[in-house]
Amino acid sequence: MLITIALLALLLPPRIIFAHEVSPSISNLVIEDDTIGLAVQLNIEAFVARIDLESLSNTDESEATGDYDQFRAMAPTALEKLFREFWPEMAKRFTVNAPDPLTLTLEEVSIPDTGNIELPRASRFRVSATLPAGSPGVTVSWPSDYGMLIIRQHGVENPFTGMVGSDGISELISVNGGVEKTAWQTFIEYIPVGFDHIIPKGLDHILFVLGLFFLSTRLKPLIWQISVFTLAHTVTLALGSLGWIAIPGSIVEPLIAASIVYVAIENVFTQTLRPSRTLVIFGFGLLHGLGFASVLGDFGLPGNSFVPALIGFNVGVELGQLTVVAIAYFGIALWCRNHPDYRQWVTIPASIIIGLIGAWWFVERVFLG
How many other C-beta atoms can be found within 10 angstroms of the C-beta atom of residue 323?
Answer: 16
Q: Is the pLDDT reported for residue 52 higher than 80?
A: yes
Confidence class of residue 336 from pLDDT cuts 50, 70 and 90? Answer: confident
Q: What is the mean pLDDT of residues 326-344?
A: 79
What does the alpha-carbon distance between residue 362 and residue 4 come to, in Å, rounded to a whole number?
23
pLDDT tens digit sequence for 346-361 = 888 889 999 999 998 8
pTM over 0.75? The answer is: no
pLDDT tens digit sequence for 165-216 = 666 899 889 988 766 677 888 888 889 888 888 887 788 889 999 988 888 7
For residues 58 and 23, the answer to whether their CB atoms sit within 8 Å is: no
Task: Measure Cα distances from 220 to 207, 217, 319, 329 in Å.
Answer: 20, 9, 16, 12
Q: Which domains can be identified in the chain, with CATH numbers?
A: 25-180 (no CATH), 185-367 (1.20.1250)
Query: 268-272: which pairs have CB atoms within 8 A and are 24 or more residues apart?
Result: 268/348, 268/351, 268/352, 268/355, 270/215, 271/343
What does the alpha-carbon distance between residue 236 and residue 242 come to, in Å, rounded to a whole number?
10
Query: Which of the residue ranges 91-100, 156-165, 289-298 has the most confident prediction, judged by mean pLDDT?
Result: 91-100
